[in-house]
A and B are shown apart, each in its own frame.
Chain A
């Protein structure tokens, strides 16, 4: 493997035995993980080099999937949307129950010490308790490193992990004090504690600017990466839809209806992509209406075979239910009528109020006489007016002189109005003007 395509150094979440250091190093160097582990163990007796190295990397190497990190390092525009297969090395490794093993070993050591004390051997020196405290504190604090990182990635930071971190620090500090100041009087102990805290504070003050800058740079880098991925998202979308439509339009340049329709469909899609909240399917009447409009604009033509557009204005939104479905079906029929028989522009207005949804469909055609439509024709009477009235709504068709036709529908919302609108609404005048 070339050095340029080497995986970055990360401690993988999966396949780790202790801190994932060996697995991470193995992936980074592309050598068998067993070899790395053996090396760590072999190096341990030599002044604890292996142990120190392990702890050093545990603390400094960030957690993460090396493969994902390699992906993120590349320009986002080059990355693929599908996740690559997981590396076999990572999958093969299994995690051992290290916590339980450590607890068992500690208990066994404690039992042995007690037994030896019973037998009269002086094992438990004055240094044992402080060292135990120190180790326990460090373990508590370090155990939170990964947790804090994971929480930050998830966008939350629990107070529990911070508390544990602080508690671990305090315990370790007390351990250090007890260890160092065994022969000191309480007075000197307090004095030296204050001095130590003061020195720590001074050093922190000096280092703070560097630390702040580091944090800021990290944040900037993260923001830049987010921007780039957004840009890649947009580029992919433009490529998939807009460029293709443009190519199609160029190919069909001699067919104005088809060109207008494709341009309109693309415009609608792009607008939805740019401006819409993209609600979950089945949760929004407005989205369902947009779908109906899209279907009509895509598949229907006007009386002279021209492409049609529906000027849609939506105010408010509501949860769909059986009666809004009926309302939308009726709206669809009304739109089809307007597109087929009326003249453009066709206007559609939906207003979802607190207790009813109202829909108005208007065209600028010559109008027609609903009374003159034969009773056996299902068109207007059944599919538009009947549909809405059967569900307790109001419906009427209004023709004006030279002003086209308007279908007015009003459907009470189930949860708002316990009882549907009074039956008297049914004989609302269907003809005016």
Chain B
């Protein structure tokens, strides 16, 4: 983690601009945030989701070992896959279940989920079935390694570089895992929740202006 990120309090603990609590500006909302993760779903999943899960179970014998949970929420199917099994599952999804396209990968950072802080989300699309599913992989911040899917879906090349750049997830065996948006020598991974918004001092004509999160308090 960068020095910048270390020196400032975790935004996830304090809210935007150092606000403590819920960010409920009125004070009457009584909002308590309990995290984002939705629990595992029970059969029948509804829609085409039963069919997809059935097909995957048939094509992939160690389904129960590799898939941590199946979540159906908001009309979307999410398969939580162990990162060690991601390559196998992906290959079967592409070749047997005809999910030919991976629409990229995006990261998410949940500092409150100890041991599974960093998540990678892969939306898959099947042109043959005209269906979508999502794969979700979670890894600890201390050892953020996920196998690269570039060999399976070449489209993930830049997408994985972006996720590495923004979240610091290391995609093993990626052909060239370098930063893509930020400069090559940039410290830290900006989209992590403990990375402050605009935490970089601005220097203009010799005068240094503190980063926005330190300029004024919104408390």
Query: Are A and B associated in one complex?
Result: no
Interface residues of B (CB under 8 A from A): none
Interface residues of A (CB under 8 A from B): none
